[in-house]
Amino acid sequence: MSTAIHRRYVAFSDAHYAGNLVDGAFALKLFGDVGTDLSIAIDGHEGLFAGYSSVEFLAPVRGGDVVEAEARLVKKGNRSRTVDFELRVVCRAAGESGRSRVLDSPLLAVRARGTAVIPHEEKGSS
């Protein structure tokens, strides 16, 4: 498996800014979760995240949305893994009425590239 995908409902309580906006850290946390899933699937270890080489905030994420976070393996070194991330809005809330609609095509909200590393195993470790 070289891709992992998680879907998540964005609670209205996650919105902290005018216009019901969610902060960018919300997306980065989801990237951490889906990246860990990918690392376990590829290496059998949750890995350690070293950092992002790029992060782009392209569209708003709002309370009441449903988002899809994807991690895709781009390059596998001896211990490093280059991973591309995307956060897409797949359902958009219609105000705070509880109504929502599935978008005809997902809205790309955040895109990033990062590096994870798999720790070197000590001799005698299992």
Which domains are delineated in the chain? 3-117 (3.10.129.10)
Looking up tokens 């994870």 gives 116
Q: Is the pLDDT of residue 107 over 80?
A: yes
Beta strand ranges found along 3-120 (DSSP E): 3-9, 15-17, 21-22, 48-57, 66-76, 80-93, 100-117
* Separation between Cα atoms, residue 60 and residue 110, nearest integer Å: 9
List, for residues 41-79, the tens digit of each pLDDT value: 999 999 999 999 999 999 999 999 999 999 999 999 999
Cβ contacts of 124 within 8 Å, gap of 6 or more:
none
Residue 122 has pLDDT above 70, yes or no: no
pLDDT number for residue 98: 76
CA atoms within 13 Å, Cβ hemisphere of 16: 6
The pTM score is: 0.90
* pLDDT digit string, tens, across residues 3-39: 999 999 999 899 988 888 999 999 999 999 999 999 9
Taking the C-alpha atoms of residue 91 and residue 89, their distance in angstroms, rounded to an integer, is 6
